[in-house]
Amino acid sequence: MKKKSLFVILIVIFACWNIHIFADEAQKADQNKPEFKPEFPKETVSETKHSVTINGTVINYTARAGTIVLKEENGRPKASFFFVAYTRDGITDPGTRPIMFSFNGGPGSSSVWLHMGILGPRRVVMADDGSALPPPYQIANNDYSILDVTDLVFIDPVSTGYSRPVPGEDAKQFHGVQEDIESVGKFIRLWTTRYQRWGSPKFLCGESYGTTRAAGLAGYLEQEQGMYLNGVILISAILDFGTGEFLRGNDIPFITFLPTYAATAWYHKKLSPDLEADLRKTLDQVESFAINEYSVALLKGDSLSAQERQNVIQKLSQFTGLSQSYINETNLRIWDYRFTKELLRDQGLVVGRLDSRFKGYDYDSAGEGTEADPSYSAIQGSFTSMLNSYVRTDLKYENDLPYEILTDVSPWSFDKFANKYVNVSDSLRQAITQNPSLKVFVANGYFDLACPYFATRYTFNHLGLPSNLRNNVTMGYYEAGHMMYINKPSMVQLKSDLSKFIQSAAGH
């Protein structure tokens, strides 16, 4: 027994000795390896020639897809911005040709949606109502591009698309309301300088959180870069987050979302025949109720009389398609994520948030909130696939990084707005008052539960513009959702509205 124990001890000692030798050799091998030094990204731009037919006219243009490295004044690189730019050929005087800088939102979204949904010369093919077609997907000539009236630059903010911080730089320094505005603003200044477009009429176009960025940029570019804009286009706007933050004690969203609840119920045939007859007339009734009787009822709170409460419950049920008992249980306050689940619960369906025309399925019909947004599911696959294909095959730009369509950039810094709702509307107000020539166009989808049109109207009604400048802001409304342009009739209307706005604001 002792011999066996001694034998085991010797084996353990031998094993430990070998491990020690191997560890020393591995450490020496590591020390002899050359130190890994990641290279700073180089600026690369692919330039290609194309043509697109818009309204029967052939437009020849140059496409540039590539990166610009943002640097500090001492030359230290900070981030590599990916962009795709389209400029019409044959323009002898750039001062007569508008340039538009476009981006989407998230935060954390690339510019793919506006790029390949409406503005760019190529678009993802979808069914006329915006439904996704079966894979594999296709792209086609975009008859509704606005390249006929303006040049275009699509920007992917840091951490989206192919844009990245350079090695050694923390992405968090770009992930915040003000940080994002400043970095994108610096890119716009640099691109404008390099491509000699300071003399051109200049526009911004943002969608969703991109409208937050655009409103902030209007002020930043004006005050910090001396760049005065001709126009700002806001598609599915959110400037004052207080209009969309469902929190106890904040009754505004319950009021501003109500017309979109009604539009959604109208679309899914949940209203009475008289209200189903004409959407716009129905919304007029709902809007009047929302800012009068309903807002007063919420303001009264527990002091609301039983009869007043019942009257409000009855009208909320009438306008939303939800039962009176359910509305009573909500204490007259219908949260957005509850509405998307409740409206079609009896059919085992949920409605979309980005576009409430869309329907989908959850694991079950109990509870509240949805597993996924069926309206996002309808566009995610086709836009992702076609962007990745288009960049390499048509634009001849190669990059092995994943193109981040919509990525998580949390935590997003709201330090500038600590202890209050994010609100960049005052930045836009100041930009207009300091540059009275600045015009704003706002596109709203009736079925948008992410950025409801009535919330946007509330924001602009509280902008505080002098009466003589209020006409600087115009609005368009579309029978579609957040990305209203995926719906063919709305795309046609939006193209017309944008063309007229750009030409007017540019002085053409």
Is 485 found in the same domain as 336? no
Is 196 found in the same domain as 100? yes
Pairing of β 45-54 and β 57-71: antiparallel
Indicate the burial class of 46 (C-beta count within 10 angstroms; 0-12, 13-18, 19 or more): middle
Is 391 found in the same domain as 349? no
Is 265 found in the same domain as 238? no
Which residue has tokens 């990916």? 82
Is 410 found in the same domain as 293? no
102 contacts 129 by C-beta, under 8 angstroms = no
Asked if residue 183 belongs to a domain, the reply is yes
pLDDT of residue 14: 47
Q: Please state the rounded mean pLDDT for residues 192-200.
A: 97
Which residue has tokens 């476009």? 102
Q: Please state the rounded mean pLDDT for residues 303-329.
A: 98
Is 404 found in the same domain as 291? no
- Whether the pLDDT of residue 214 is over 50: the answer is yes
Of the candidates 348, 375, 402, which is a domain's last residue? 375
Q: How far apart are CA 54 and CA 146, in angstroms?
A: 8
Q: Which domain, by its residues, includes 329?
A: 247-375
- Whether the pLDDT of residue 18 is over 70: the answer is no
- Whether the pLDDT of residue 399 is over 90: the answer is yes
Of the candidates 326, 353, 375, which is a domain's last residue? 375
Helices (H) and strands (E) in the chain, counts: 16, 14
Q: Please state the rounded mean pLDDT for residues 137-150.
A: 97
**Lowest-confidence segment of 33-47, 79-93, 215-229, 267-281 by average pLDDT:** 33-47
**What is the pTM for the complete model shown?**
0.92
Asked if residue 135 belongs to a domain, the reply is yes
Q: Please state the rounded mean pLDDT for residues 271-300.
A: 98
Is 112 found in the same domain as 219? yes
- Whether the pLDDT of residue 433 is over 80: the answer is yes
Asked if residue 33 belongs to a domain, the reply is no
Q: Please state the rounded mean pLDDT for residues 130-144.
A: 95
The closest alpha carbon to 156, from 191, 119, 196, 111, belongs to: 111
Tally the domains of the chain: 2
The closest alpha carbon to 223, from 63, 27, 433, belongs to: 433
Q: How far apart are CA 174 and CA 178, in angstroms?
A: 9
pLDDT of residue 10: 42
CATH code, domain carrying 207: 3.40.50.1820
Q: How far is CA 202 from the centre of its chain?
A: 21
pLDDT of residue 30: 56
User: Among residues of the chain, what percentage have pLDDT more than 70?
Assistant: 92
Q: How far apart are CA 25 and CA 82, in angstroms?
A: 44
Asked if residue 40 belongs to a domain, the reply is no
Q: How far is CA 309 from the centre of its chain?
A: 38
Three-state secondary structure call for residue 261: helix
pLDDT tier at 13 (50, 70, 90 boundaries)? very low
pLDDT of residue 133: 92
Is 201 found in the same domain as 53? yes
pLDDT tier at 320 (50, 70, 90 boundaries)? very high
The radius of gyration of the chain's CA atoms, rounded to the nearest angstrom, is 27
Is 392 found in the same domain as 344? no
Is 331 found in the same domain as 196? no
**Lowest-confidence segment of 22-31, 119-128, 263-272, 440-449 by average pLDDT:** 22-31
**Lowest-confidence segment of 193-207, 390-404, 405-419, 482-496 by average pLDDT:** 405-419
pLDDT tier at 370 (50, 70, 90 boundaries)? confident
**Run of H or E residues at 31:** helix 2-32
Is 107 found in the same domain as 233? yes
- Whether the pLDDT of residue 442 is over 60: the answer is yes
Q: Please state the rounded mean pLDDT for residues 329-353.
A: 96
**Lowest-confidence segment of 17-26, 196-205, 339-348 by average pLDDT:** 17-26
pLDDT of residue 28: 58
The string of DSSP codes covering 412-447 is PB-GGGTTS--B-HHHHHHHHHHSTT-EEEEEEETT
pLDDT of residue 416: 87
The closest alpha carbon to 117, from 281, 235, 37, 226, belongs to: 235
Asked if residue 150 belongs to a domain, the reply is yes
DSSP lists the bridge partners of residue 442 as: 234, 475
258-267 vs 279-289: helix axis angle to the nearest 10? 150
Q: How far apart are CA 476 and CA 485, in angstroms?
A: 12
- Whether the pLDDT of residue 178 is over 80: the answer is yes
- Whether the pLDDT of residue 386 is over 70: the answer is yes
Q: How far apart are CA 82 and CA 204, in angstroms?
A: 17
Asked if residue 17 belongs to a domain, the reply is no
447 contacts 237 by C-beta, under 8 angstroms = no
Backbone angles phi, psi at 505, to 5 degrees: -70, -25
Q: pLDDT digit string (tens) for 450-466?
A: 999 999 999 999 999 99
- Whether the pLDDT of residue 38 is over 90: the answer is no
**Lowest-confidence segment of 24-28, 213-217, 330-334, 481-485 by average pLDDT:** 24-28
Q: Please state the rounded mean pLDDT for residues 354-377.
A: 91
Q: Please state the rounded mean pLDDT for residues 52-56.
A: 95
The string of DSSP codes covering 96-133 is GS-EEEEE--TTTB-SHHHIIIIISSEEE---TTSPPP
Q: Checking phi first, is residue 56 left (phi over 0); if not, alpha (psi -120 to 50) or beta?
A: left
Q: How far is CA 227 from the centre of its chain?
A: 24
Asked if residue 22 belongs to a domain, the reply is no
Q: How far apart are CA 184 and CA 110, in angstroms?
A: 13
pLDDT of residue 238: 98
Asked if residue 269 belongs to a domain, the reply is yes
The closest alpha carbon to 217, from 145, 157, 130, 273, belongs to: 157
Of the candidates 356, 375, 394, which is a domain's last residue? 375
Q: How far is CA 64 from the centre of its chain?
A: 23
Is 451 found in the same domain as 433? yes
The closest alpha carbon to 441, from 483, 504, 386, 385, belongs to: 504
Three-state secondary structure call for residue 154: strand
- Whether the pLDDT of residue 351 is over 90: the answer is yes
User: Among residues of the chain, what percentage have pLDDT more than 90?
Assistant: 88
Amino acid present at 268: H
Q: Checking phi first, is residue 490 left (phi over 0); if not, alpha (psi -120 to 50) or beta?
A: alpha
- Whether the pLDDT of residue 418 is over 90: the answer is no
pLDDT of residue 286: 98
